[in-house]
Amino acid sequence: MDIHEYQAKEVLAGFGVAVPTGALAYSPEQAAYRARELGGERWVVKAQVHAGGRGKAGGVKVCTSDSEINDVCETMFGMKLVTHQTGPEGKGVYRVYVEAAVPIAREIYLGFVLDRTTQRVMIVASAEGGMEIEEISAEKPESIVRAEVEPAVGLREFQCRQIAFKLGIEPGLTQQLVRTLQGAYRAFTELDATMVEINPLVVTDDNRIIALDAKMTFDDNALFRHPQIAELRDKSQEDPRESRAADRGLSYVGLDGNIGCIVNGAGLAMATMDTIKLAGGEPANFLDIGGGATPERVAKAFRLVLSDKNVQAILVNIFAGINRCDWVAEGVVQALKEVEVEVPVIVRLAGTNVEEGQKILAKSGLPIIRARTLNEAAERAVGAWRNDLSQGVTVRAVS
């Protein structure tokens, strides 16, 4: 789960990371009012969306008066901000953060990520702040400083000092950098984050080290341990299909093609999508119904997949290990009787009780296209989607 910049700043501030003073606003009037409350003469108005690259896309503006804040906000609110991280559809701006403008002397890149190879938290830093990390690694790879954290002892001061030295931080400011690094590391580990990015971390004209931007991503599977973080979820920034699935306890990933996939297990989902692509199709989404595929769960899955208007065929691919194919088949049949499905449905079952499962599908009298192997299923799904009747099957399933 991602959170907004202002939320990440509040979280990090709680761990001792210095951030500028700022306040949140839901309307242009409120933004101007917030600026007056903050005081000072220069403010930065920042669109709150779950994506970086806002500066270049017009989502970060420096203002020097009430009326300017008002004008900037009039265009920002309600706009779909398109940055290189949002995709062409953009992300809606419904909140802005008004912040005191900070006199920047230097911008530094700082990131904390999980390095799967070493199974450790990796700190990635660069003296070339302000640029995105992808640009830095393409253009100035030599500027990147990396450090691994040994989980048993945590981030040690000497490591932080090493990083400070490599970034060319003035000795007098090292202690501030140590505090920032250790604070961000503690926030990362204690809150089960998967990413913390401070870009830029700045050194100000008056020698303060401040996080000017902040991004945090959390492990969804650990959110139950952090209700205060789970509360920060902003559904307006998520794919509505995915949030609806999450609310129903299903895991769903929306994509751009036409073939809806109902599968069990993420690995099988990946294999299913690969095979669809190989057969010349494009997956519209994938929905993982997980281990216990009760008929109710399968029906929910169908409803969700169908709510995506792009879906022109549904491929159900289940490998029953803990599940049983006969139960899954019952679920599919029940779902097709309950939910009006007007697109071809292709079902491939494998594993425990597969024969019984096939019988249930055959006996149902429903126009389900059956397949024995994943290849066959993918080819039939793509064929059915293209309305290719040469396979000798009916391609309409209705309740």
CB of 163 to Mg ion, least distance (A): 19
Beta sheet of 60-63, edge-to-edge order: 22-25, 96-100, 43-47, 60-63
The answer to whether 209 touches 202, Cβ cutoff 8 Å, is yes
CB of 99 to Mg ion, least distance (A): 13
By annotation, the residues acting in catalysis are: 109, 197
Q: Which of residues 25-44 bind ligand ADP (CB under 6 A)?
A: 44
Q: What's the CA gap between 160 and 242, in Å, rounded?
A: 39
212 binds, among ligand ADP, Mg ion, none (CB under 5 to 8 A by kind): ligand ADP
DSSP string, 213-252: --EEEE-GGGGGG-HHHHTT--GGGS-HHHHHHHHTT-EE
The answer to whether 314 touches 285, Cβ cutoff 8 Å, is no
**Does residue 20 interact with ligand ADP by CB under 6 A?**
yes
Q: Which is nearer to Mg ion, 197 or 330 (CB)?
A: 197
The answer to whether 244 touches 301, Cβ cutoff 8 Å, is no
53 binds, among ligand ADP, Mg ion, none (CB under 5 to 8 A by kind): ligand ADP
**Does residue 213 interact with ligand ADP by CB under 6 A?**
yes
383 binds, among ligand ADP, Mg ion, none (CB under 5 to 8 A by kind): none
Of 101, 106, 18, 8, residue with least CA distance to 49: 8
Of 359, 352, 338, 361, residue with least CA distance to 291: 352
Q: Which of residues 172-201 bind Mg ion (CB under 5 A)?
A: 199
The answer to whether 177 touches 160, Cβ cutoff 8 Å, is yes
CB of 140 to ligand ADP, least distance (A): 16
**Does residue 102 interact with ligand ADP by CB under 6 A?**
yes
Stretch that binds ligand ADP, among 94-102, 157-165, 226-234, 268-276 (CB under 6 A): 94-102
CB of 104 to ligand ADP, least distance (A): 6
**Does residue 127 interact with ligand ADP by CB under 6 A?**
no
Q: Which is nearer to ligand ADP, 132 or 242 (CB)?
A: 132
Mask: binding to ligand ADP, 46-75, rule CB under 6 A, as x and -?
Answer: x-----xxxx----x---------------
Residue 261: φ, ψ to 5°: -120, 125
Q: Residue 178 is encoded by which pair of tokens? A: 């140590």
- Burial class of residue 39 in the structure, from the number of CB atoms within 10 Å of its CB (0-12 exposed, 13-18 middle, 19+ buried): exposed
Instruction: Map residue 284 onto helix, strand or coil.
Output: strand
Query: How many residues bind to Mg ion according to rule CB under 5 A?
Result: 2
Of 28, 96, 37, residue with least CA distance to 68: 28
Among 213, 308, 330, 379, binds Mg ion (CB under 5 A): 213
CB of 99 to ligand ADP, least distance (A): 4
Residues in Cβ contact with 313 at an 8 Å cutoff, skipping those fewer than 6 apart? 258, 259, 260, 343, 344, 345, 346, 381, 382, 384, 385
CB of 11 to ligand ADP, least distance (A): 16
Query: How many residues bind to ligand ADP according to rule CB under 6 A?
Result: 18
Q: What's the CA gap between 87 and 80, in Å, rounded?
A: 11
Q: Which is nearer to ligand ADP, 20 or 344 (CB)?
A: 20
The answer to whether 98 touches 37, Cβ cutoff 8 Å, is no
**Does residue 99 interact with ligand ADP by CB under 6 A?**
yes
Stretch that binds Mg ion, among 76-84, 150-158, 213-221, 290-298 (CB under 5 A): 213-221
Q: Which of residues 244-273 bind Mg ion (CB under 5 A)?
A: none
CB of 69 to ligand ADP, least distance (A): 14
Q: Which is nearer to Mg ion, 128 or 213 (CB)?
A: 213
Residues in Cβ contact with 320 at an 8 Å cutoff, skipping those fewer than 6 apart? 264, 327, 328, 349, 350, 351, 352, 353, 354, 357
Chain positions contacting ligand ADP, by CB under 6 A: 20, 44, 46, 52-55, 60, 99, 101-102, 104, 107, 130, 199-200, 212-213
Chain positions contacting Mg ion, by CB under 5 A: 199, 213
